[in-house]
């Protein structure tokens, strides 16, 4: 989907169409990986020098709450964001270094088994965190140089 489709969706849901939202969506669509709010603000400050981190987080929260982007946490420090997948039910391997995602080819939920008595599952999410082949080789090369 292109940025205009997402912007129309936001307009239809009663949101204002701002340049900042458009640029956030453009950036996420172009990068096709998980990014941090700090990466976004560094990019956006070229066009909006006085932009605050709070404005970026507010826009990210709106886009997340509307199901346009996904949020994930690889650690306790910082949330990461990417465009929401349009592929239906699936799960990801996620590189914690570059944010690249690779779809799992099956759902691991059946292996988990039945939910405990009295518990109703509304949704589930599996994320397998690690290093993609590019980052793993980069990380190993950096380690060899230090040794």
- Among 3, 47, 64, smallest CA distance to 29 is for 3
- Which ranges in 46-99 belong to alpha helices (H)? 53-65
Query: What gap in Å lies between CA 29 and CA 82, rounded to an integer?
Result: 8
Instruction: State yes or no: 106 annotated in a binding site.
Output: no
Answer CATH for 88-147 from 3.40.605.10, 3.20.20.70, 3.40.1390.10, 3.30.1490.190 = 3.30.1490.190
Instruction: State yes or no: 135 annotated in a binding site.
Output: yes
- pLDDT tens for the chain, 147 residues long, are 589 999 999 999 999 999 999 999 999 999 989 999 999 999 999 999 999 989 999 999 999 999 999 998 877 778 999 998 877 777 888 888 888 888 888 888 888 888 889 998 887 778 888 999 989 887 666 656 555
- Among 23, 33, 21, smallest CA distance to 70 is for 33
Q: Whole-model pTM? A: 0.74
Instruction: State yes or no: 95 annotated in a binding site.
Output: yes
CATH 1.10.10.10 given to domain 1-84: yes
Q: Where are the domains of the chain?
A: 1-84, 88-147
Instruction: State yes or no: 98 annotated in a binding site.
Output: yes
Query: What gap in Å lies between CA 9 and CA 62, rounded to an integer?
Result: 12
Contact in structure between 132 and 100 (CB atoms under 8 Å): yes
């Amino acid at each position: 989907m292109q940025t205009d489709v997402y912007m129309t969706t936001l307009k239809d849901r009663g949101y204002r169409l701002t340049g900042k939202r458009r640029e956030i969506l453009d950036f996420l669509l172009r990068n096709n990986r998980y990014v941090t709010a700090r990466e976004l603000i560094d990019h956006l400050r070229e066009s909006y020098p006085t932009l605050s981190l709070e404005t970026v987080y507010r826009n990210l929260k709106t886009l997340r709450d509307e199901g346009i982007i996904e949020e994930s946490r690889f650690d306790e420090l910082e949330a990461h964001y990417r465009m929401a997948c349009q592929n239906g039910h699936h799960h990801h391997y996620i590189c914690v270094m570059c944010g690249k995602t690779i779809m799992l080819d099956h759902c691991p939920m059946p292996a988990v088994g039945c939910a405990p008595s009295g518990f109703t599952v509304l949704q589930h999410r599996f994320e397998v965190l690690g290093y993609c082949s590019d980052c793993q080789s980069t990380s190993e090369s950096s380690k060899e140089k230090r040794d």
